[in-house]
A and B are shown apart, each in its own frame.
Chain A
Amino acid sequence: QKEVEQNSGPLSVPEGAIASLNCTYSDRGSQSFFWYRQYSGKSPELIMSIYSNGDKEDGRFTAQLNKASQYVSLLIRDSQPSDSATYLCASYSGAGSYQLTFGKGTKLSVIP
């Protein structure tokens, strides 16, 4: 069964620090990866997508992908209390896939 695994947390970091969120996946055929942010009681919001090995930066967010290790991460620099949320990792499994497989999410708390 294709799985996306995340540490459920909570992950607590002080304001201004770097938050590092990690995700592993079981399907070597996975080609694309997405990070969603979900505030409590709200819907998932897409914040980053990454398709190639290496880093992709967008503002304070950096997504990192290592397909050999089947590992994807999200770094949040200069963490703010407003970043406190659950972060969901998701991937499509293989070419032609339409089904996103989601991890259970990591809850991040940024302490002022």
Chain B
Amino acid sequence: DAGVIQSPRHEVTEMGQEVTLRCKPISGHNSLFWYRQTMMRGLELLIYFNNNVPIDDSGMPEDRFSAKMPNASFSTLKIQPSEPRDSAVYFCASSFGAGNSYNEQFFGPGTRLTVL
């Protein structure tokens, strides 16, 4: 079975440009999570979707960040405009069900973003 799919795997852009990261969750999973990982802060949850609905976006750092999930098999994370401090690895993860404290989350390969 295919795991979580993310694209692009690497993105290098210049400050001020728009960046769009994409994610396809595991088929049948109805919860999707976007994380950001940096050396300083570790893994941080940015936003959580359940059944395509954003449930918690309190981790989104600024209004420059937005995320959508138009259907059960696709989500995007957009940064506009991008800044050098957004440079990090962005992971998408999915799980079947959520909110019962036992759901196993499976991570995609990540997108390494570099903003110059």
Contacts and interface: CB of A to CB of B under 8 A. Distances in A.
Interface in B83-116: 91, 98-110
B109 A43 contact: yes
Contacts of A103: 42
Nearest to B3: A43
A34 interface: yes
Which size bracket describes the interface of A in this complex?
A: 20 to 34
Which size bracket describes the interface of B in this complex?
A: 20 to 34
A99 B102 contact: no
Contacts of A105: 42
B8 to A, nearest CB: 15
A111 interface: no
A102 B36 CA distance: 12
Contact of B99 (A42, A88, A97, A104): A97
B42 A98 contact: no
Contact of B31 (A43, A49, A98, A102): A98
A68 interface: no
B50 interface: yes
A36 B105 CA distance: 10
Contacts of A95: 100-101
A73 interface: no
Contact of A98 (B43, B91, B98, B107): B98
Nearest to A34: B104
A34 B105 CA distance: 9
B50 A98 contact: yes
Contacts of B99: 96-98
Contact of B43 (A49, A51, A88): A88
B56 interface: yes
A52 to B, nearest CB: 11
B34 interface: no
A34 B104 CA distance: 8
Interface of B: 31, 42-43, 45, 48, 50, 55-56, 91, 98-110
Interface of A: 31-32, 34, 36, 42-46, 49, 51, 88, 92, 94-100, 102-105
